[in-house]
Every structure is written in C-alpha cells, then in structure tokens.
Amino acid sequence: MSDHGNALLDKPQVSGPLPSAPALTRRRLPRWTPLAVALVSIGLGVGAGSLAGWESRTQWGLIAALLFVVITYAVTSLVEDRRQARDRVATSVIWVCFVLAVVPLVSLAWTTVSRGAKLLDGYFLSHSMGGMTNLEEGGGVYHALLGTLEQVGLATLIAAPVGLLTAVYLVEYGRGRLARAVTFFVDVMTGIPSIVAGLFVLAFWNLGLGFGPSGFAGSMALAILMMPVVVRSTEEMLKLVPNELREASLALGVPKWRTILKVVIPTSIGGIATGVMLAVARITGETAPVMLLVFGNTLINPNPFSGAQESLPLYVWNQYKLGNAASIDRAWAGALTLIAFVMLLNLVARGIARWKAPKAGGR
Amino acid sequence: METTSTSAQAPPPADPADGRSATATAPVKGKAVRPGDKVFRGLSRGSGITLLVIMAAIAAFLAYRASIAVSKNSVNFLTAFEWNPQGDPPAFGIGVLAFGTVVSSLIAMVIAVPVAVGIALFVSHYAPRRLAAPLAYVIDLLAAVPSIIYGLWGALFLVPYLDGLTRWLDQFLGWTTVFEMSNPGSPARSIFTVGILLAIMVLPIITNVSREVFLQAPKMYEEAALALGATRWETIRTSVLPFGRSGIISASMLGLGRALGETMAVATVLSPGFLFSWHILDPGSGTFAQNIAAKFNEADDFGRDALIASGLVLFVITLLVNGAARWIIARRKEYSGANA
C-alpha cells in the first residue's frame, strides 16, 4: 500500500514538468443526455415491439430498458471514458431495479383497492355469511372481523406480558448462560414458519389433549409467533433508555423493580407500544395457523373458547377457494378490509413512535 | 447487579441525621432482598424460561407426532415421491416437497437478492433525499402486507399475466429442459410463478436489512474514495459493498427463511401434484407448507401426523437457515440485525 502511494508521489519528480498542463475538466455529456437516451430507447422499443407484433407490454419495456443501457454505455464511453460509462450503467441498472420492484408492488396495492372497493361498505362489514349459498351475491365479513379481533386480542393478552417481561429480563437482569440461551432462541423463534406454530398447537392441543378447533387454539399459535417480535422490539427500546436514569433512581434508594416499573418502562413506553402494535399487525394477517386451528365458520360465533370461528385472512382464503365470481369479489373485499386494518395498525404504531420517540431514537 | 455495584461504590451517607437515608443505609451489606425485587426478578426470569420451554415443546411435540407417523410408513420418508397416508399400508415421502420448496425458494432468491440490493442502494445512495425517507417508509409498510393478499394477487393477477412470459421462455429456452413445458398453454400455476411471487414477497425484507447496513458504511471511506476521483459506482463498489457483504448475506438468509416457510401465497398460486419433474414451468409440484395447507382438511388423525412429520422437516430447515443468518450477523458486532 505504502509502496503504491510513494510511486504515485514520486512520479511527477521523475518525469519532470509536464509537457502541457492537463485540462482540469474533461469532456462531459450534457445534463439532458439520460432523458434523451431514454426517449430514444423507448421509441425504439415501442417501434420494434409493434413491428414484430408482440402483445406483451412488458416485453416492450424490457427491450427499451436493454436499449437504454447499451446506448448509454456506448455514448458515454465515446464522449467521456469507460469508467464514467460503467458508472452510468450502474446508475441506470439501479434505477431499473427500483422500477422493477415498484411495478408489482403498486399493482398489488392498486388491484386490492380497486377490486375490493366494489363490495366494501357498511352492509359488508355488518353481515355474516350465515344462510348463504356459495354462488349467491352479498354476504359479509362481520363474523370474520369479530373472530380476528377476538383471536388477535387473546394472542396479545398472552404474548405481550410474556414478551415484555422477557425483554426486561434480558436487558435489566440477564447475565450468563440463561440470558444467552434466551437471546438465541428468541432469534430462532422469529424465524419459525407460521404453519409450524400452527402444527405445534395442533399436536399439543387438538391431537394431544383432544380439544376441537376454536379461536383460542388459533390465539395460542398466534401468540407463539408474536412473542419473539415483542421481545426484540421491547429489548431495543429498553436499551435506548440512558443508564443515568437508572442510576439516579437507584441512588435515591428506589428498589430495582420500582425503578424498572416507574422509570425505565415509562421512558420507553412509546417505543414499546409501537413494537407491540407492529407485532399485532403481523399476526393479524397470518392465515396458515388459523386455518389449521380455527377451522372457519360461516356463522357468527362470538365465543373464542368453543367451536370453530372465522377470521379475516381465513375468510379471504375460503372465498377464493370457492372460485365463483361472487365469492372472488367477496375475497377481494375481505382482502381490502384486512389490508386496511393492518395498515391502520402500522400507521398508528409508527405515529406513536414518532410522537413519543426518545431523543436517541430514529435513524 | 447494578444495585449491588451502586451501593458498594456509593460513598457512605455523610449525614446520618437525615431521616430518609436510614432505610437506604440498611441493606448495604449484602444483595438487596426486597420481596418486590424478588418477585419481579422471578417473573421476568420465568417469562424468559417460558420462551425456552415453548421452543423445547415445539420440537418435542412435533418430533413425537412425527415419530408415530413415520414408524408406520411403508416407504422411505425422506426420498419417496408420493403422499398417501390413508393408504394401506400408508406411504408418504417428502421428496417432491423438498424439491419444490428448495427450487421455488432458490428462484425467489436469484430474482430478489440482486433487485433488493439495487433498491437498497437506490434508497441509501441514489435517490434524491426528499424521496429516500418516504420510500424507506413505504418499503417498511410493504413488509407488513399479509401473505394471503400476495397469494390472492398472485393467483388472480400474476398468473394470467405470466402466461406470455412462460410461453416465450418455453419457445426460446425450451431446449434447456428446465424451461420446457410439457403442455404449452396450460395456466402458469407452476413452481416458477411461485418463485416469482415469493421474490416479490421477500423483496421488502431483504431491502430493509440491506439498506440499514449500507447506511452504516463508514462515511469516511466513501469520502476518501470520492476524493481520489472515484465515480459514484466505484465508491459503492470499493467502500459500501465490501462493508455490507455480510449484511446482504444475512438479509438474504432471513428472506430465504420466509420464502421456505411461506404457506398461503404458494397454496393459492400452485396447482399441486406429486410428480417429480425438472420442468419448472409445468404445474404440479408442492412445497412443505403448501402441502400441509392443501391436505389438512381431508386428513384423518394419522394423515395429520404425517403432515406434522413434514412440518418437522420444514422446522429443522428454517432453523438451520435462520441460525446461519444469525451467526453471520453475530460475527459482525457493529451491525445489530435485531430489527430484522
């Protein structure tokens, strides 16, 4: 490394004064070049596509993108140099990546909203599927909404305290092997596929203890999925609480448990609430464990502890499986209800995070 | 721990006449033995242990039910290409499922990782400042879209849309066997489509984690590279990407973990089948999770045990993948992948 540097430094001395002062600026392409190249390549892409008679607009786009990259490289390496050309190609590839990703995601959002809005109204939200034949139009999502709220609420009641206390343990008490084991297994638990959590509760609760399907069984599986998320986020938030606060409280003779309850947790309560709500949002959309354990029901069953229930994601899946025009419409409307619910939770959670953010927070 | 250290280092109260310090001076000798502390400590420790117990219970119950099923199996569980637990004798194997799971996840990774790295770079280094923050926010939100909605969109929108592409692939790349369609014109409910859908699903996750790593790349390296006259791409290649490599790897592994265990998006798109074939454009394959979802309703208790056995394999695979990801993250202490 140092040899290399010296060689660079020595060079001017060896070669003596340069024959002619090098230009400080190089030849550069004008600023509008990318736009011009884009227009040309789109024109060529559309031209080639329509001449060859290809129907797929995606194909036209791909050809245009390819042309754009090639033309940019050629023009830049002619006018500027190879390094600049490579830089421009990299820039355009990264833009293409961005566009590539945005297209399906926008399409997903647009399709859900436009097709779901057709059926989504007060009637849809306030009626169940009771007494309906599969092909009939109408019906609603009330029973599923109720089921989802109950199952997710129960799961939160189980998972939030356990997750919170575990995080407190890891941050405030945890030392040694137990804490390391808990940390590791929380990480591992984050990655459990939802269907495996469902299978576990099935093996334990339904096959092992002989209970039938119920909302509560689903809640247990959802709680397993929720716990590690709550632990992770709460842990991060508790770590953000400055140590000076703890020390000040302890120095005043306050017991440790009161320090945690009255100083540490209130300081980070915004972040903790955000984490819990994001976890709730995550489990609300889980379909697989609910399908195994809650089973689905077309009637309103307000009791989560006995009998099959419905839930929003399960409703979408069941209506999709029926496969006729009316049920597909209902599936989209259910999907829109679900996505609206999840997004609302997300937005509120992030709102809380911004509102109550500790000074050290934020990236 | 903090209690003891603070009380040990604290100077002795200067004025014992101050009535309040009387309680504080008393327990200085040993560890704090307040009952409240004991209860609270016990509670929080208990929750930690509860988590461990749950993990152990998951492994134990799945293994127990799986052993019931596998012991009565008449064919090799790991290599057989059929699923018939109702038969006499019962015969079921995960050959096709393992193949479908691995292939669909691999397709997803091949598509998603480069694109996600591109988007992450776009957000962290290319996008105009005003665009970057809202973009990161939207990507965060997209990671929260439930998988059943991806599935619905995939089945009703993506599948018909991909018909053209699959026919084109068959026409021009059919000679590779992999892209050959036995029955051109059949709907694109194949493992290939599943791979594309999974790629779209894991994109936000991989992007988020990679973006965080890229933002943590030392600014000084980048400035040094720029000062030496490097172009923007050279700066990224020489200072950002080497720094973020392990972050990209672990992000991809996290995405892979999700792709492997995805149920609903696969179940809606794929038309299942138990024929083993290298033709990834043909309908008729399966993944672990999809098979469980599809076969569950018609299965009796023994059939459920068989499904649990396949779930156990999935559990072990995802454990290995996630464990590897965490290990890579842990090797780099500077980057906390905790939010992943």
Average pLDDT over residues B32-58: 89
Query: Of A168, A173, A227, which is closest to B51 when you measure between CB atoms?
Result: A227
Distance CA B21, CA B25 (A): 6
Contact B311 A207 (CB under 8 A): no
pLDDT tens-digit series, residues B108-161: 999 999 999 999 999 988 888 888 888 888 888 888 899 999 999 999 999 888
- DSSP assignment, residue A309? B
CATH, residue A293: 1.10.3720.10
Give residue-wise pLDDT tens across range B225-235: 999 988 889 99
| Residue in chain B lying closest to A246 (CA) | B2
Chain A residues touching residue B308 (CB < 8 angstroms): 199, 202-203
Q: Are residue A302 and residue A343 in the same domain, yes or no?
A: yes
What residue segments make up the domains of chain B, in order of their start?
2-74, 84-339
The shortest CB-CB distance from A232 to any of B40, B263, B338 is to B338
pLDDT, residue A331, reads 93
Query: Cβ(A289)–Cβ(A197) under 8 Å?
Result: yes
d(CA A100, nearest CA chain B) in Å:
8
Co-location of A148 and A236 in the same domain: yes
Q: Which of A107, A117, A141 is nearest to A314 (CA)?
A: A141
Mean pLDDT taken over chain A: 85
Q: Residue A215, CB half-sphere, CA atoms under 13 Å: how many?
A: 25
Of residues A62 and B313, the one with the higher pLDDT is: B313
Of A204, A236, A313, the CB nearest to B148: A313
Q: What is the pLDDT of residue A153?
A: 95
Tell if the CB–CB gap between B264 and A207 is shorter than 8 Å: no
The per-residue pLDDT for range B222-263, each reduced to its tens digit, is 999 999 988 889 999 998 998 888 888 888 988 998 899 899
- Tell me which of A34 and B107 has the higher pLDDT: B107
Nearest-angstrom CA–CA distance, A145 and A126: 9
Mark yes or no for CB contact A200/B49 under 8 Å.
Answer: no
pLDDT surpasses 80 at A54: no
Nearest-angstrom CA–CA distance, B304 and A199: 9
Q: Please, are residues B282 and B181 in contact by the beta-carbon 8 Å criterion?
A: yes
pLDDT of amino acid B285: 83
Provide the 10 A C-beta neighbour count for residue B67. 13
User: For residue B255, which residues of chain A lie inside 8 Å, CB to CB?
Assistant: none
- Domain assignment present for A198: yes
Question: Is the domain covering B84-339 a CATH 3.30.450.70 domain?
Answer: no
Burial readout B81-120 (b: 16 or more C-beta within 10 A, e: otherwise):
eebbbeeeebbbbbbbbbbbbebbbebbbebbbebbbbbb
> A110: distance to nearest CA of chain B, Å?
10
A258 and A186 belong to one structural domain? yes
Q: What is the pLDDT of residues A259-317, one digit of tens each?
A: 999 999 998 888 899 889 989 998 999 999 999 999 888 888 898 998 889 999 999 99
Q: How far apart are CA B273 and CA B296, in angstroms?
A: 15
Which residue in chain A has the smallest CA separation from B314? A196
**Least confident interval from A194-198, B1-5, B173-177, B296-300:** B1-5
Residues A200 and A307 in one domain: yes
- At residue A341, the pLDDT reads 92
Please give the residue that has the higher pLDDT: either B336 or A288: A288
- Written as one string, the DSSP assignment of A139-171 is --SHHHHHHHHHHHHHHHHHHHHHHHHHHHIII
Backbone φ and ψ of A306, nearest 5°: -145, 140
Contact A231, A295 (CB under 8 A): no
Does the beta-carbon distance from A255 to B45 stay under 8 Å?
no
CA atoms within 13 A on the CB side of B23: 8
Are A91 and A172 within one domain? no
Domain boundary pick from A61, A93, A109: A109
Using pLDDT thresholds of 50, 70 and 90, give the confidence band for residue A26. Answer: low
Q: How many CB atoms lie within 10 A of CB B51?
A: 23
* DSSP H or E segment with residue B84: strand B83-84
Option in A166, A187, A255 nearest B326 (CB)? A187
Domain assignment of residue A266, yes or no: yes
Q: How confident is the model at residue A323 (pLDDT cuts 50, 70, 90)?
A: confident
Cβ pair B44:A173 closer than 8 A:
yes
Q: How many structural domains is chain A composed of?
A: 2
Neighbours of A128 (CB within 10 A): 21
- Residues A196 and A307 occupy one common structural domain: yes
Least confident of A89-98, A142-151, A352-361, B124-133: A352-361
pLDDT of residue A20: 56
Residue of B nearest to A56 (CA): B164
Distances (CA, A) of B320 to B253, B313, B325: 10, 11, 9
In the predicted structure, residue A177 carries a pLDDT above the cut 60: yes
Q: Do B155 and A186 touch (CB under 8 A)?
A: no
Do both A192 and A49 map to the same domain? no
In this prediction, residue A231 carries a pLDDT of 94
Q: What residues in B contact A320, CB-CB < 8 Å?
A: 151-152, 155, 268
Distances (CA, A) of B43 to A173, B49, B287, B330: 11, 10, 41, 28
pLDDT at residue B16 greater than cutoff 50: no
Q: Give the rounded distance of the alpha carbon of B93 from its chain centre.
A: 25
* DSSP-derived secondary structure for A241-271: S-HHHHHHHHHTT--HHHHIIIIIHHHTHHH
Q: Which residues of A touch B233 (CB under 8 A)?
A: 86-87, 90-91
Model confidence pLDDT, tens digit, residues A102-145: 888 889 999 999 999 988 888 888 888 888 877 788 888 999 99
At residue A218, the pLDDT reads 94
**CA A191, chain centre distance (Å):** 14
pLDDT digits (tens, 9 = 90+) for A201-239: 999 998 889 888 899 999 999 999 999 999 999 998 998
Opening angle at CA B326, ends B321 and B330, nearest 5? 150
- Structural domain contains residue A136: no
Q: In a 10 Å sphere around its CB, with 0-12 CB exposed, 13-18 middle and 19+ buried, how is residue A284 labelled?
A: buried
Tell me the DSSP string of A82-138: HHHHHHHHHHHHHHHHHHHHHHHHHHHHHHHHHHHTTT-SHHHHH---TT--TT-S-
Residues A102 and A186 in one domain: no
Structural domain of residue A76, as residue ranges? 28-109
Q: Is residue A219 domain-shared with residue A305, that is, in the same domain? A: yes
Amino acid A10: pLDDT: 44
Residue A363 pLDDT greater than 60, yes or no: no
Measured between alpha carbons, how far is B142 from B100 in angstroms, rounded to an integer?
26
Whether pLDDT at A89 is above 60: yes
The pLDDT of residue B34 is: 82
Locate the chain A residue with the closest alpha carbon to B199: A101
Query: What letter represents residue B88's amino acid?
Result: D
Inter-CA distances, A54 with A239, B76, B162, B175, B192, Å: 58, 49, 14, 22, 22
A288 φ, ψ (degrees, to nearest 5): -60, -50
Q: B322 and A187 in contact by Cβ < 8 A?
A: yes
- Would you state the pLDDT for residue A6? 46
pLDDT computed for residue A22 by the predictor: 57
pLDDT in tens, B76-87: 888 888 888 888
What's the complex ipTM? 0.83
Same domain, A222 and A282: yes
Mutate to test the interface with A, among B135, B145, B328 (most CBs of A within 10 A): B145
